[in-house]
Amino acid sequence: MKSWNRSTFTLWLLTIFTALPGCDSPDRPLTLTLTGSSTIAPLASEIGKRFERQHPEVRIDVQTGGSSRGIADAQNGLADIGMVSRGLRPEENNLYGFTLARDGIAVITHKDNPVQQLTDQQIIAIYTGQVTNWKEVGGQDAPITVVNKAEGRSTLALFLQHFSLKSQDIAADVIIGDNEQGIKTVAGNPDAIGYVSIGTAEFDAQQSIPIKLLPLGSVPATIENVRKGSFPLSRPLNLVTGTPPEGWVKEFISFAQSAQVHDLIKEQYFVPLEK
Amino acid sequence: MSLWRNDKLLAWCLRGCASIAGLIILLIIVFLALEAIPALQQVGASKFFFDRGWHPSPLASEGHFNLAPMLVGTLMATGGAILLATPLGIGAALFCHYYAPPFLARLYRRLIELLAGIPSVIYGLWGLVVLVPLIRQLEPPGPSLLAGILILALMILPTIALLADAALAGLPREYTQGAAALGFSRFSLIWHVALPAAKSGLLTGILLGTMRALGETMAVLMVCGNVVQVPGNIFDPIRTLTANIALEMAYAMGDHRSALFVSGLLLMALVMALIATVEILKPKSSP
């Protein structure tokens, strides 16, 4: 019995060592590391899996940490590719950016809320605390619960930028982290208003979670309008590199931009770009 | 001779383990301090208490770094939870020991152990979908200091109950027998003999409960609303120091990141102050 145990152990050890990545070809490190936006990460990891199947000699390692980390890691060379879910700023022009897809931000309310539309001015008034009751914007007599995103998130940055607001101006009742937390908060509160990634919102609304996507500037908040570029509150999803992409990095980026991954992009409720 | 040698070996092994454990704590404090120093130097320590608000992100143009509302929020949520959970927890232990029939006491203990084992994120989710809407019907918006206190009280209740239970179980039999011989009523026995004798153990339970409440992150993050403010009443949303770190660390850069380590350092200082206080309050004589 004892010898059997020992041989099983050796077998396990062998299996583990041969399964370790990189051991089969020690001459070249073949792991591509992507870090950054948590919005892009699930998509990148799906694209990575498909890429690995076509090129078994390459491994794709995806880590989140936010767009700012994507920028920093690409600049410092800590990652091969950074993921950034916003447009690049002028001071970031030392990076090379490649747009994968687009994403929109939808303003959401509870499904039972009778308010069908809000103007940009009304949204600004609500978020700055000038309007605190739904009856002031055509709804029922109920106090508005303003749901805002936490500091540092690119969704917050995009929202602030679109409405020319400052983080200090916002009078929030609830501050949330990720999109799902925002949707759960609004779904549980008929008087809440929030904003989340349009892909997540449209998916959850179809799953009969009681939320409603409000049109913005009278453009309905749909994936279709983001694709057409007519939805005002949308953003590009970018892959960035610190140096001009070469070799496998270049291969991966052009693969991620090709029509071969459009189905994956749609599955994540993002909007693929037509070349 | 060989026994003596083994003894010495064991003693050195244990000394080694103890110093490693001590060293880890020291290293954590040093690490926290090193990460926090850039912000303390750039921003200045006083700004962390007297600034206009908490807007540390470089995206928000100028930075504001006031941690005081979060310190207040943490203390209020923890204090409220302790006030609620201590009588309930000690009451549960007393019920188990002095009033419940044995089979019920056993069932009750297993139930409380189960309560201790539920992951905090489950409490958080339950709070978000059940408790918060209930509180909203009372007074909008719902996510609030009250929700945090209730969830935290529920989470630390088993800690306090189990430690109180252990403390009561550890009392010498002569105490209860002596009290019974003197014709004490059950209430007098509990009030005048059991509770004073188990004081040290009860205090340890409360201390551990307080630590858990202070350090709890996920559930509090989900039910408290996370607005940085000193709450005006129990229905106002608050943000705790732990929730602040969890909410923003993944997205923080530069001074913002460093400022989050300052909030970690503050939390550490709070815990150390608490332990020191309890150490002073504790009855000196060994039980």
pLDDT tens sequence across A40-97? 888 898 999 999 999 988 999 998 777 888 999 999 889 999 999 888 888 888 899 9
Instruction: Check residue A24 and give its pLDDT.
Output: 44
Minimal CA separation from A196 to chain B, in Å: 16
Separation between Cα atoms, residue B279 and residue B284, nearest integer Å: 9
Question: What was the pLDDT predicted at A52?
Answer: 92
- The answer, yes or no, to whether residue B242 has pLDDT greater than 90, is yes
Q: Which residue of B has its CA nearest to A157?
A: B59
* pLDDT value of residue A2: 44
The answer to whether A87 faces chain B, any CB pair under 8 Å, is no
Task: Assign a CATH topology to domain A6-102+236-272.
Answer: D-Maltodextrin-Binding Protein; domain 2 (3.40.190)
Burial class, A179, CB count within 10 angstroms (exposed 0-12 / middle 13-18 / buried 19+): buried
A177 to chain B, any CB pair closer than 8 A? The answer is: yes
**Closest chain B residue to the Cα of A171, Cα to Cα:** B227
Low-confidence ranges of chain A (pLDDT < 50): 1-4, 14, 18, 20-27
> How far, in Å, are B192, B228, B275, B284, B287 from residue B196 at the CA level?
7, 41, 21, 14, 10
Query: What pTM was computed for the model?
Result: 0.75
What does the pLDDT read at residue A3? 46
DSSP character string of A89-114: PGGGTTSEEEEEEEEEEEEEEETT--
Mean confidence (pLDDT) of chain B: 87
CB proximity list for A196: less than 8 A, separation 6 or greater: A105, A106, A108, A155, A179, A182, A183
Q: Give the start-end residues of each E strand in chain B.
A: 54-55, 64-65
Helices H / strands E in chain B, number of each: 14, 2
Residue A219 · residue A232 · CB < 8 Å: yes
**Residue A132 DSSP label:** -
Residue B39 confidence class, pLDDT cut points 50, 70, 90: confident
B141 upstream amide cis, omega within 30 of 0 = yes
> Which pLDDT belongs to residue B93?
92
Question: CA angle at residue A197 from A194 to A199, to 5 degrees?
Answer: 130
| Start-to-end C-alpha separation, chain A | 64
Burial A106-117 (b: 16+ CB within 10 A, else e): bbbbbeebebee
Identify residue B136 by its one-letter amino acid code. Answer: R
Q: Which neighbouring-strand residues pair with B186?
A: none
CB contact under 8 Å between B256 and A174, yes or no, is no
Q: List b or e across B81-115, with b for residues whose CB sees 16 or more CB atoms inside 10 angstroms.
A: bbebbbeebbebbbebbeebeeeebeebbeebeeb
Q: How far apart are CA A182 and CA A161, in angstroms?
A: 20
Domain boundaries, chain A: 6-102+236-272, 103-228
Surface-to-core class of residue B283, CB atoms within 10 Å of its CB (0-12 exposed, 13-18 middle, 19+ buried): exposed
Degrees, nearest 5: CA angle A262-A268-A272: 35
Residues of B with CB under 8 A from a CB of A: 52-57, 59-61, 64, 128-129, 132-133, 136, 140-143, 221-222, 225-228, 237, 239, 246-248, 250-253, 256
Q: Is residue B42 classed as helix, strand or coil in its secondary structure? A: helix
Chain A residue closest in CA terms to B224: A174
Pairing of strands A81-84, A234-241: antiparallel
Q: Which residue(s) pair with A175 in the sheet?
A: A148
Point out the residue among B54, B129, B141 whose CB comes nearest to the CB of A145: B141
In this structure, are residues A118 and A214 in contact, taking their beta carbons and an 8 Å threshold? yes
Q: Which two tokens stand for residue A254?
A: 């052009």
The residue assigned the tokens 């002596």 is B178
Query: Per-residue pLDDT tens for B72-105?
Result: 999 999 999 999 999 999 999 999 888 888 899 9
How close A67 gets to chain B, by Cα (Å)? 8
Q: CA-based Rg of chain A, rounded to a whole angstrom?
A: 22
Strands A31-36 and A59-64: parallel
Taking CA atoms, what residue in A is nearest to B57?
Answer: A152
Taking the C-alpha atoms of residue B177 and residue B171, their distance in angstroms, rounded to an integer, is 11
The yes-or-no verdict on residue B47 having pLDDT over 60 is yes
Say how far apart CA A97 and CA A235 lie, in whole Å.
14
The reply to whether A103-228 shares the fold of A6-102+236-272 is: yes
pLDDT for the residue B18: 95
Q: B230 and B287 in contact (C-beta within 8 Å)?
A: no
The string of DSSP codes covering B187-246 is: HHIIIIIIHHHTHHHHHHHHHHHHHHHHH--HHHHHHSB---S--SSTTS-B--HHHHHH
Q: How far is A72 from chain B (nearest CA, A)?
A: 9
pLDDT for B61: 47
- Note the residue count of chain B: 287
Span between the terminal Cα atoms of chain B, in Å: 36
How does pLDDT run across B28-37, given as a tens digit for each residue? Answer: 999 999 998 8
What is the dihedral sign for C-alpha B137, B143, B144, B149?
A: positive
What's the confidence (pLDDT) of residue B190? Answer: 87
Nearest chain A Cα distance for residue B157, angstroms: 26
Distance between CA atoms of A70 and A64, rounded to whole angstroms?
Answer: 8
CATH superfamily for domain A103-228 = Periplasmic binding protein-like II (3.40.190.10)
Residue B2 pLDDT: 59
Please list every residue in chain A whose beta carbon sits closer than 8 Å to the beta carbon of residue B228.
175
Q: Choose between B285 and A73: higher pLDDT.
A: A73
Q: Average of pLDDT values for B160-167?
A: 93
Give the C-alpha separation, B269 to A189, whole Å. 37
Q: What pLDDT band is residue B60 in, cutting at 50, 70 and 90?
A: very low
